[in-house]
Amino acid sequence: MSTKKSPEEMKSIFQKYAAKEGDPNQLSKDELKLLIQSEFPSLLKGPSTLDNLFKELDQNGDGEVSFEEFLTVFKKIAQ
């Protein structure tokens, strides 16, 4: 599956997984893992691990990933 998606598609994907547990506006590490494995499995191939990706996404270090944090990294990936 391609990482080239519209902002609306990305928001929909984010909300689908963020709503699974806890805060519906934040992704936990488990929710992020499900999202990546289901929607963007190619991101975990090679040297990138889930832990590394989570650290990169969680820019404010609060242990969760907001949509803004999520989108920032995916914009880089899509270029």
Please determine, for residue 1, whether its predicted confidence score (pLDDT) is greater than 50. Answer: no
What contacts 24+ positions apart, CB below 8 Å, involve 43-50? 43/3, 43/77
Instruction: Express each pLDDT in 5-62 by its tens digit.
Output: 788 888 999 999 999 888 899 999 999 989 988 988 877 776 668 888 888 889 899 9
Q: Choose between 76 and 25: higher pLDDT.
A: 25
Q: Which domains does the chain have, with CATH numbers?
A: 7-78 (1.10.238.10)
Nearest alpha carbon to residue 50 among 18, 26, 27: 27
**pTM metric for this prediction:** 0.81
Burial of 44 (0-12, 13-18, 19+ CB in 10 A): middle
